[in-house]
Structure 1
């Protein structure tokens, strides 16, 4: 998961970090070095977790080192190649980054532990699936965040809408009612490809699929085209720019300026909106992105973090103990409550039911997905053909033709040797 997504839902922690294992340990304890990312956990959480872990594991000492998101990829790659005794024992990585670190056999296969002790059948799919490679589990889900619909309660009431929509059809109908009298029914930028991905997944499609170890773009399948068509109809009920994404301009500012009834964003963005426009305090609500039927919310892109254990850890058992504790029910729910995250299991969703925005996230995360699990996906995002495809369709291009072009470009990036 990229830092730009994470930063919207996290609060600050200020510890400094670096690579390496401290020599020795206090009282003869073995030191376990853990890399966690800046803003993933508060200082108070880390203090309480460390005290509890060291009390219940008398032979271990934790050395938690906080890393910056900027430049973390090359830093982790270097650490994984450093050899035994020179790399951390546990590393937090973005869920969509696991695939690039698995290459070369540099991570520990944690399948046996996850199957036996960690309740993997209840993990959020958007965290678990990216941590899986060829039936081996390398990334262990830690926490998640995803998009919901942030809406203006007062504008819904003004339009005569008593409760948030639960189906796509209701969502379109309600948004059409809201798109009147100078108000925008929804502000949806033309290149918000994360939101589009959810609509494609709901239709049974995907961005790319792997067959016989070859990845190919699949935006041109009937299912994916249906997802794009829904996006087109919804986006038309507002004035979002066809040629830009949700950060250009930042949609928090657009929403705060008024006259916008809905946006699709992580719930943490509500705080930024109210800071920009204090008159909106108490007027914002949240609901999961609606699905095709009322039986379940729509699929959403799930961001978040997994924990991995480098192959060259000098104490696998100690590293596994840290992962087990951090991702176990007690501390995972503590983290979710403290940081307004979604816990790593669907069975733990009740832990955040008291927070409207987080509860809406949890409902969507139960059906969440992530980008295709291949190290080459970063090359797709570097010059994203999905964004360009969306703009072409929204400005009158033929969807099938543009989808074929975009799919070919995705295939070229994922499988350069495929013609």
Structure 2
């Protein structure tokens, strides 16, 4: 077993790779076959990697598992090099961000994993926000590994003082509670004007989308009635605080704003609680979580699902051993271990119970059941790089005509998605 961690730290994410050659372990009694696994920095703890590697090697005595922890910077080019066979690096299994799979499918060189996914890995119970981006035309190339999504982080003491006893279950209950919390210097919610991740969930709840494919071409759809209804709700919620109209949730970091003590709620990943408490230790024990409310009480609101999928390059010299690695990583044992260690959402709705006792992760699992991913276009990353959604949101919050602003943004999204790079 070899585990290599680069010196530079990076953000949470996802890319795992595995190199091997030959046949399944133990078939010839010779030396163990080397299998190399790439993990993005932060996707799993060093302790998890060590435990997984030792157990995997013990259960597969003919395999020598080498783990290499990678950085995000430049990872797309490196993964494409492995898939195309133009790199000196090789891989048998690669963990990639769920919204990146479409790019790698376009690159080519991925093994289809439809049969294994449905037969061995419980595909019928996968989170849609992880499985849908990993498929094209009914063929599965990306296998869900773990997920994370946004929840509402709130001040328990401020809710109690305002007479809000129960976490809201519907949008209207949420608005009513937030209105009661928005008084004087206290903000009912801090919602930055350009938090398009949150807007996407509201649009999906209304039956709309950011972009759709038809006749082989993609079109932006922010100007549909459904998408406009999602933006209208966003505007209502935004008005119950002092979030800037022309900045996103990182400008300034919303955790720092929340820590100042005059905000009742923010929408973000549960991990932001640690940042809040670091900035203001007096808030320790005063923070809680609930799933973003939906239009009706029978299900939470839709959320943008983040996380990772596992892929196998066609050029692997050891596909059967790569299947064994994925089988282990998506097994209930290691899904439970990963979810509890990292406070993630497991890859299946049927495993939501394994994070009971972790309030933040439990709130995430409720939302994850309604999770979605960004449009499954290989060009979507180009849309995010330019991001016409942000100025559209600012325009609406500043009083411009919503439909006209949405049409401008939709047209630009269509242009980017239809362009040749």
Q: Per the shorter chain, which TM-score range?
A: over 0.9
Which residue is 2:5 aligned to? none
Contact residue 151 and residue 285 of structure 1 kept, 8 A: yes
Alignment partner of 1:131 is 2:100: no
Q: Can you list the C-alpha shifts for 1:139-195, whole angstroms capped at 9, x where unaligned?
A: 100011100000001110111100110100000000000000210000000000000
SS in 2 for 1:103: helix
Partner of 1:224: 227
Moved more, 102-111 or 121-130: 102-111
Residue aligning to 1:154 = 157
Q: Residue in 2 aligned with 1:252?
A: 255
Aligned mate of 1:274, from 277, 288, 300: 277
C-alpha deviation, 1:79, in angstroms: 2.1
Which of 309, 321, 324 is equivalent to 1:306?
Answer: 309
| Deviation of 1:63 (Å) | 1.4
**Take 1:82 and 1:115, find their aligned partners in 2: how far apart are those partners?**
28
In the alignment, which residue of structure 1 is the partner of 2:213?
210
**TM-score calculated relative to the size of structure 1:** 0.93
Q: CA deviation at 1:9?
A: 9.6
What secondary structure is seen at the aligned counterpart in 2 of 1:28? coil
Q: Structure 1 residues 388-397 or 62-71, which shifts more? A: 62-71
Normalising by structure 2, what TM-score?
0.93
Contact 2:12 2:41 in 1 (8 A): no
Matches within 5 A, 1:322-361: 322-361=325-364
- Aligned partners of 1:45 and 1:142: how far apart in 2? 14
Contact 1:84–1:313 (8 Å) recurs in 2: no
Instruction: Check the 8 A contact 1:392/1:402 in 2, yes or no.
Output: yes
Change (3 A) 1:9 1:379: closer
When residues 9 and 78 of structure 1 are mapped into structure 2, their CA distance, relative to the original with a 3 A threshold, is closer
Q: Deviation digits for residues 306-353 of structure 1, max 9, x if unmatched? A: 111111000111101101110111101110001110000000000001
Change (3 A) 1:9 1:291: farther
Is 1:290–2:293 an aligned residue pair?
yes
1:411 has 2:414 as partner: yes
The answer for unaligned runs of 5 or more in structure 2 is 1-9
How far the C-alpha of 1:58 sits from its partner, in A, is: 2.3
Cα RMSD (Å) of the superposition? 2.2
- Call closer, same or farther: CA 1:32–1:110 in 2, change over 3 Å: same
**Partners of 1:111 and 1:137 within 8 A in 2:** yes
**Which one of the candidate residues 85, 108, 112 is aligned to 2:111?**
108
CA contact under 8 A between 1:290 and 1:297: conserved in structure 2? Answer: yes
Judge conservation of contact 2:190–2:263 (CA < 8 Å) in 1: yes
In structure 2, C-alpha distance between the alignment counterparts of 1:101 and 1:9, rounded to whole Å? 16
Match of 2:244 among 236, 241, 258: 241
Report whether the alignment pairs 1:46 with 2:49: yes
Contact 2:193–2:394 under 8 Å retained in 1 = yes
How many residue pairs get matched? 406
